Amino acid sequence: MSTYYLTTPIFYVNGSPHIGHAYTAVAADVIARFRRLQGVDTYFLSGTDEHGQKVEKAAAEAGLAPRAFTDAVSGQFRAMLAMLDVSNDDFIRTTEPRHKAGATALWQKLAASGDIYPGHYEGWYAVRDEDFYTEADLTTLADGTRLAPTGAPVEWVREPNYLFRLSAYADRLLAHYEAHPEFVGPAGKRNEMLSFIRGGLRDLSVSRSSFRWGIPVPGDPDQVMYVWLDALANYITALGYPDQTGPLWRFWPADLHLVGKDIQRFHAIYWPAFLMAAGLPVPRRIFAHGWWTRDGAKMSKSLGNVVDPFDLVTKYGVDATRFFLLREVPFGNDGDFSHRALVGRLNTDLANGIGNLAQRTLSLVAKNCEGRLPDAGPRQPADTALLELADALPTVLAGAFERQALHEALDEVWRLVRAADSYIDQMAPWSLRRTDVARMGHVLRVLAEAIRVAAVVLQPFMPASMGRLLDQLGVSADARDLAALQAPLPDGIVLPAPQGVFPRWVEDAGASR
Ligand code: ME8
């Protein structure tokens, strides 16, 4: 059986979860759920990144010991995943003994191969990014403040520490990029990574000695590991590294690291170089999604305009939130969050789209067919056209998922929804009731089959609502994967009374039920 291992980035616990974290997590969840629907043996990892100067500083500002602080904030991320219906198989914390042991083993392996050596670092560092910068990267404000390209303030760091021989891996990285054009996506990001490598890789400082909140460097108690080496290791420590004989190791190398565009370089350059140095296979693909702004402006704590995922779910519901995040923006591009845009999607695509289509069809079945699913009849060309569109959907979506084109997958489903809408209008089963009852039944059956396909393939995006829709279509819980679509719905089954799946959003009243 084929395997599929995918990961979210592990979230920094310096602050509460926001829409960006929800986005990464929901997108990864949709991909994981689609693989499971395909019958693939899937493993989906998320977790929290808890060490480093940024987190230590946030704990101090909160007046808490780092451990108590990270326990609390890590709990918020776990709660966010549960609230969003994210189906991760494991949740790793970098403060757990299993992770510390694995990261220590990775360090020892890199040291033993001669790729980590003692030296010292002198240069600019941005705590907010946990990243090093050169003079050429910086801009200087009128008051003399120096800023990284990300807008993060930098400080001058000068300390003895250990370096990783990144420079020695440039050629191997380039060869890998050459041999695996799919290694980094989207394509623009691949070019960016290639020019970074071609621009020359300098050895990377992989330890810090000016603070204590980290994993101690083996054999040197004055140093802690650089938080990115510590954090990236989570993808293998969660599988049991250094033990390569355990039950989870079959999932390595990862099929997909899903990341935000700001952290692509750590994943697409440093991480594969660490793995090459450790003699391990590198991940198959690293895909970067874009960033969300709010009402056109960058979100920041100081502007007080950060979108809180808990608020979104309370206000709009889990599935409308999940759907909006993936429908609104081509995956890989930046997007803008606004109440208006979300309500637009909720009403147009969900309430008036698939929700209305299902409600119209199922209430006609309830009223005119004694609540029983009608039998399939002889097919007319319009029936065949609609069912062909539906039957092709799983394969078309599989192709889109292969490229993480989640927006394309949704476009395709909505093509079917629109086609089914036109079909019901043209066939007018409400009139057939008076002229040709048998044909009315056949038309409703075609619609039920088409809606079933849409609901099955939409489960990864909106698990709970599509579950309810499949209940109403009489699809048993064990017949909801892609393979089950090969068989038609059973004739004559009694369907439960139809109930609207997506209430329309009415301003001021919220969602009307
Ligand atoms: O980077 N829009 O953690 P993090 C979209 N600990 N995505 C956003 C976003 C926004 N406005 N803001 C943040 C880290 N993200 C590291 C990862 S992995 C070994 C270590 C995304 O909590 C961001 O791009 O700062 C990243 O993918 C994720 O949220 C976690 O960010």
Phi, psi of 93 (to 5 degrees): -115, 135
Strand order in the sheet with 216-217: 207-208, 220-225, 216-217
> Is the CB of 20 within 6 Å of ligand 1?
yes
Distance 326 CA to ligand 1 centre (A): 17
| 12 within ligand 1 shell (Cβ under 6 A) | yes
Cis peptide before 247 (omega within 30 of 0): no
At 7, is the secondary structure helix, strand, or coil?
A: strand
Q: How far is the CA of 253 from the centre of ligand 1 (A)?
A: 22
What is the Cα Rg of the chain in Å?
26
Please state, as a whole number, how many other Cβ atoms lie within 10 Å of the Cβ of residue 28.
Answer: 27
pLDDT < 70 regions, the chain: 509-513
Distance of CA 404 to the CA centre of its chain: 10
Residue 471: helix, strand or coil by DSSP?
Answer: helix
Q: Which helix (H) or strand (E) holds 365?
A: helix 356-368
CA of 235 to the centre of ligand 1 (A): 16
How many angstroms separate the CA atoms of 105 and 102, rounded? 5
Q: Is the CB of 232 under 6 A from ligand 1?
A: yes
Q: Evaluate whether 157 touches 115 at the Cβ level (below 8 Å).
A: no
Pairing mode, strands 207-208 and 505-506: unpaired
User: Which residue minimizes the CA distance to atom 30 of ligand 1?
Assistant: 11
Q: How many other CB atoms are found less than 10 A from the CB of residue 61?
A: 10
Nearest atom within ligand 1 for CA of residue 260: 24
**For residue 140, what are the β-bridge partners?**
146
| Nearest-atom index, ligand 1, CA of 259 | 27
Select from 19, 18, 24, 63 the least CA-distant residue to 47.
24
pLDDT for position 305 = 85
Tell me if 259 CB under 6 Å of ligand 1: yes
- Regarding the beta carbon of 21 and ligand 1, being less than 6 Å apart is answered yes
Q: How many CA atoms lie within 13 A of 481 on its CB side?
A: 10
Nearest Cα neighbor of 348 from 307, 387, 310, 320 is 320
- Residue of 8, 49, 235, 331 to test ligand 1 pocket, by largest number of atoms within 8 Å of CB: 49
Task: Pick the atom of ligand 1 nearest to 267's CA.
Answer: 19
- pLDDT at position 513: 41
pLDDT value for 267: 98
To test the pocket of ligand 1, the residue of 7, 259, 266, 329 to mutate (highest count of ligand atoms within 8 Å of its CB) is 259
User: Domains plus CATH for the chain?
Assistant: 338-486 (1.10.730.10)
Query: 135: which 2 tokens?
Result: 């003079």
Coil/strand/helix, residue 35: helix
CA–CA distances in Å: residue 204 to residues 119, 168, 218 = 10, 11, 18
Residue nearest to atom 15 of ligand 1 (CA): 20
Question: Which of 7, 14, 24, 301 to probe ligand 1 with, by most ligand atoms within 8 A of CB?
Answer: 24
Q: Whose CA is nearest to atom 27 of ligand 1?
A: 260
Distance 260 CA to ligand 1 centre (A): 6
Counting from 1 in the atom list of ligand 1, the atom nearest the Cα of 271 is: 19
The SS3 call for residue 278 is coil
Indicate which residue's Cα is closest to atom 19 of ligand 1: 232
pLDDT of residue 510: 66
CA 352 – ligand 1 centroid, Å: 34
Determine the angle formed by the axes of helices 437-458 and 381-402, rounding to 10 degrees. Answer: 0
Specify the residue with its C-alpha closest to ligand 1, atom 26.
Answer: 260
Write the DSSP symbol of residue 331: B
Give 262 Cα–ligand 1 centroid separation in angstroms.
7
Ligand 1 and 92: CB distance under 6 A: no
The model carries a pTM of 0.96
Residue with tokens 């969900």: 350
Q: Which of 311, 101, 122 is nearest to 225 (CA)?
A: 101
Q: Which protein residue has the closest C-alpha to ligand 1 atom 31?
A: 11
Q: Which two tokens stand for residue 88?
A: 């991760």
Is the CB of 369 within 6 Å of ligand 1?
no
How far does residue 24's CA lie from ligand 1's centre (Å)?
A: 8
- Give me ligand 1 centre to Cα 18, in Å: 10
